[in-house]
Structure 1
Amino acid sequence: MTVGGTQDKQPNAQLTSWFVRSGWSKGELARQVNRRARQMGALHVSTDTSRVRRWLDGEQPREPIPRILSELFSERFGCVVPVEDLGLRPAHQPPAATGVDLPWAGPQTVQLINEFSRSDLMLGRRGFLGTSLMLSAGPSLVEPMQRWLVPVPAAGGTDPRTPPPRESGDRRPKLSGPELELLEATTVMFRQWDNQCGGGLRRKAVVGQLHEVTDLLQEPHPQPVARRLYRVTAELAALAGWMSYDVGLHPTAQKYLVLALHAAKEADDQPLGAFILSSMSRQMIHLDRPDDALELIHLAQYGSRGTATATTQAMLHAVEARAYATMGQVNKCHRAVRMAEDAFSDSCVSEDPDWISFFNEAELNAENAHSYRDLAYVAGRSPAYASLARPVMQKAVDLFAGDSVHQRAYALNLIGMATVHLLEKEPEQAARLTGQAIDVARHVRSERVNNRIRKTADSALRHYSHVAEVAQLTERLAAALPEAAETA
């Protein structure tokens, strides 16, 4: 599985650097590669310790090895590690198949979502599209998303959002108003399940519903009905993306979110598009790409100006603050936090679409507290910013404690409060709150929650292994939340 060219071969210093920092042995990396290859259906891949050694010595592996290594190191370090950064040559594949630069046209959007969701349903495993799927970042992500701002062209009396009818003699009856309302209500129900149970429990149901709706969109509909169907499609694709992100399927999540943005454009729903961009921004923050996150959130703010409700504006400012905090931009972070609070003070629930209903007082406090907490980390575990985060995070925890729906958010903020206690050198309290988060996490199918619990416990153990409560926490974690198997 190698590419020729060995006489002038030089050691691969870039790959070696990532490999050494990962802490993996050559045998462990080989096992991880083989495991991921099996999940992708690449059964011909069989890697061993000697093959890994040859890669480090400069041998260039063929696909899908470079893409697998990129995914493994990205997940290991929590940031995007492109193939090129590993000193490997990526495969040359058509941009439409591999990236996010897709046609901004209704029929193509419907077809792409239909095909993507069908593949997801059929194979249903990490990396299910094999070597055709990888994370995009930097200009290759941001520049195509900027086309969201270009108005949909008029086409005489015909709505360009309406796909041409299928070439079939089987004509379905027109979609009735009650049927369309039921589709919209089902989307709301799926969103509630996600908030309460996490992304791992109902993701496949959402993907299946999305596939069915795109089937409907391939039939002719009046313009108002087509727009509503595109809106449902956008909401379902955004939810599928968010649930994929929640269970750790980052390339899959990004693809769904990109397609959701295309559908929102066809629905002519700028606030929904801004919400989708904010989800993409959150993913980039998680992957330690704050510059990309900031570009995406500014694009969301610009594209939804004059159309977004006060609650949506507050959410966008709160995500903006998170991006600034991760970059260490203190003054801009404080400004964005204030703007989020000011906008939220003008919120009117009756004006808000359902997809922004998660952004309540608890979530506002949670986002702002995490911004202060992130500033503390960027400033070298600064106690000053930790003290700013503490009362705001505590308010979020208290508000979520009485919320039976947003259980994942409750768990995440218990973990957030635990990290604040660690910053303030209070390991006993951190262990107690992490234990509470474990109790909630056992009923929430969210690998994102589980990973944050593990990272917090690891941090506590690194600094306070001598504290009895911390030692007990690690034992409990191993029993209650063992390393998860791959999830769909």
Structure 2
Amino acid sequence: MGAFQVSGSGSDGAGAGKRPNELLGSWFARSGWSKGELARQVNRRARQMGAHHVSTDTSRVRRWLDGEQPREPIPRIMSELFSERFGSVVAVEDLGLRSAHQSPSAAGVDLPWAGPQTVALLSEFSRGDLMLGRRGFLGSSLALSAGPALVEPMQRWLVPAPGGEQPAPAAPEGAAARRTPRLSGPELELLESTTAMFRLWDAQCGGGLRRKAVVGQLHEVTDLLQEPLPGPVSRRLFTCAAELAELAGWMSYDVGLQPNAQKYFVLALHAAKEAGDRALGAYILSSMSRQMIHLGRPEDALELIHLAQYGSRDCATARTQAMLYAMEARAYAGMGQPGKCKRAVRMAEDTFTDAGLDGEPDPDWIGFFTEAELHAENAHSFRDLAHVAGRSPTYASLAEPAMTRAVELFRADEDHQRSYALNLVGLASVHLLRREPEQLAAPAREALGIARSIRSERVNTRLRKTVDLAVRDFGDVPEVAELGELLGPRFPEPAEAV
């Protein structure tokens, strides 16, 4: 499948077409949105992107349907919104809209697997992201890839460089000796510990609070990587860059900036290859897989997870392997394959029991995968199976005890408030599948309180969708009606992508 095209700078504007946009009209009619709702969603997504100049209303949406071509970033935004609404990639062209010309550095994910190019692209992309916040418009066009356009380039992660696996670029011994090092050992350790601190902030507060700080730190690391460095220092810096880029991608994903997220993930995988860290590469591929599940592409998610498992089979710790099995189960659930899903769930549980027993210390980036997270992922797999099977009560019953246990464990974990909120919403959705409206209100109400204190578009969106479905099906139940009123038409307030 080709790339999901989105594009760059400019403001909302005119340029009326000669005839109604029948393609956009068809997608719009099937979405169930009103013109006002689409306008509000466009404005909210534009603010998340930093495009504060965009201000759309009902009359402007009507003109788009009548054939007017909006300027960027409107085509990109509507492509993302319709893709999320329908759970599959809806390209700009599918909407009858025109996208701006893409620069080579922003087009697609098929990038050179070489150290200098990786550093240059990381530097360019992080700088553009930082400038976006200051200028208030999109600095470059992007493409969200799916299908073979995504999976095939990622397979080259495992292809050795010509002449065999090459170490990360390093300065000649003489040159390194002649230069005064810009980075001491303690400074390098501080960079690594700062990455761990950013990861904790993300778990506590959501991706919208410190995203730009992570991007700024990544840009600083790429500056250091452009200096001549001894091989071991270069590899450690590439590891740091890979972790920061993955985290920037994860935070972008959390606040709804999907093309940005994918680009960071891809660049992170390139940096991990330069560092020679296949376990970290597998973790990055798992993040890409989560994004594909979110976008309704479970087949792509499964391809990425199998690539991660194959590439890290001889180096990943038991905790990392358990996480990969849990993600494999999520992909199979989305594909409606219960037998393979249940087998992957069992593998995740069995492998997790070995975590910490193999004598290998776990890296910081996999520390999130606790017993609570294991229960949460497995519960979501069964919940997804229930959805695919037409609201199957059997699979919903399998999901409930695991989701309940996850909520209990996250309730005692102040460092993972976003995960706590997501699983409260997950528990509410399970009660909805089981047609238990009275029981879903309490976890949803608690999730609402947490959602107001963190910045996570994922939490907001899942909460809104679950409550909307509950009100649609059980609006006459007092607890559900009260929940709909608590949420209100103006919740959630948009999380700023800072």
Normalised TM-score (structure 1): 0.89
Letter in 2 for 1:105: A
State the alpha-carbon separation in 2 of the partners of residues 301 and 469 from structure 1: 45
Deviation at 1:481, TM superposition (A): 4.2
- Structure 1 residues 4 and 279 mapped into 2: Cα distance closer, same or farther (>3 Å)? same
State the alpha-carbon separation in 2 of the partners of residues 364 and 463 from structure 1: 31
Partner of 1:340: 348
Deviation at 1:136, TM superposition (A): 1.5
Deviation at 1:471, TM superposition (A): 1.3
Deviation at 1:18, TM superposition (A): 0.8
Partner of 1:167: none
Query: Are 1:100 and 1:144, in contact at CA under 8 Å, matched by a contact in 2?
Result: yes
Deviation at 1:226, TM superposition (A): 0.2
Please show how residues 60-139 of structure 1 align to structure 2 within 5 Å: 65-88=74-97, 90-124=99-133, 129-130=138-139, 132-139=141-148
Query: Are 1:187 and 1:236, in contact at CA under 8 Å, matched by a contact in 2?
Result: yes
- Structure 1 residues 204 and 334 mapped into 2: Cα distance closer, same or farther (>3 Å)? same
Q: Does residue 193 of the first structure (1) align with residue 197 of the second (2)?
A: no
Deviation at 1:469, TM superposition (A): 0.9
State the alpha-carbon separation in 1 of the partners of residues 135 and 82 from structure 2: 15
Runs of at least 5 residues in structure 1 that lack an aligned partner in the other structure: 165-169
Q: Does residue 149 of the first structure (1) align with residue 158 of the second (2)?
A: yes
Residue number among 250, 274, 280 corresponding to 1:266 in the alignment: 274
Letter in 1 for 2:199: R
Aligned residue pairs total 480
- Structure 1 residues 205 and 472 mapped into 2: Cα distance closer, same or farther (>3 Å)? same
Letter in 2 for 1:433: P
Residue number among 286, 298, 308 corresponding to 1:300 in the alignment: 308
Moved more, 476-485 or 258-267: 476-485
CA RMSD of aligned residues (A): 3.1
Q: Percent identity?
A: 73
Residue number among 352, 377, 395 corresponding to 1:367 in the alignment: 377
Partner of 2:400: 390
Query: Are 1:40 and 1:129, in contact at CA under 8 Å, matched by a contact in 2?
Result: yes
Deviation at 1:25, TM superposition (A): 4.3
Partner of 2:366: 356
Deviation at 1:22, TM superposition (A): 2.6
Residue number among 400, 409, 412 corresponding to 2:419 in the alignment: 409
Aligned residue for 1:437, secondary structure, equals helix
Letter in 2 for 1:121: L
- Structure 1 residues 60 and 450 mapped into 2: Cα distance closer, same or farther (>3 Å)? closer
State the alpha-carbon separation in 2 of the partners of residues 418 and 46 from structure 1: 34
Please show how residues 245-256 of structure 1 align to structure 2 within 5 Å: 245-256=253-264
Query: Are 2:334 and 2:384, in contact at CA under 8 Å, matched by a contact in 1?
Result: yes
Partner of 1:321: 329
- Structure 1 residues 229 and 128 mapped into 2: Cα distance closer, same or farther (>3 Å)? farther
Partner of 1:381: 391
Letter in 2 for 1:438: L
- Structure 1 residues 131 and 73 mapped into 2: Cα distance closer, same or farther (>3 Å)? farther
State the alpha-carbon separation in 1 of the partners of residues 52 and 189 from structure 2: 43
State the alpha-carbon separation in 2 of the partners of residues 30 and 260 from structure 1: 34
Runs of at least 5 residues in structure 2 that lack an aligned partner in the other structure: 1-12, 173-177
Aligned residue for 1:443, secondary structure, equals coil
Q: 1:143-185, CA deviations, whole angstroms, 9 ceiling, x for partnerless residues? A: 21111111234599x9553489xxxxx9653421111111111
State the alpha-carbon separation in 1 of the partners of residues 401 and 37 from structure 2: 43
- Structure 1 residues 181 and 67 mapped into 2: Cα distance closer, same or farther (>3 Å)? same
User: Larger RCO: Structure 1 or Structure 2 (Cα < 8 Å, ≥ 6 residues apart)?
Assistant: 2
Letter in 1 for 2:478: A
- Structure 1 residues 96 and 140 mapped into 2: Cα distance closer, same or farther (>3 Å)? farther
Deviation at 1:137, TM superposition (A): 1.4
Aligned residue for 2:441, secondary structure, equals helix
Normalised TM-score (structure 2): 0.87
State the alpha-carbon separation in 1 of the partners of residues 340 and 317 from structure 2: 23
State the alpha-carbon separation in 2 of the partners of residues 244 and 65 from structure 1: 19
Q: Does residue 290 of the first structure (1) align with residue 298 of the second (2)?
A: yes
Letter in 2 for 1:417: L
Query: Are 2:103 and 2:140, in contact at CA under 8 Å, matched by a contact in 1?
Result: no
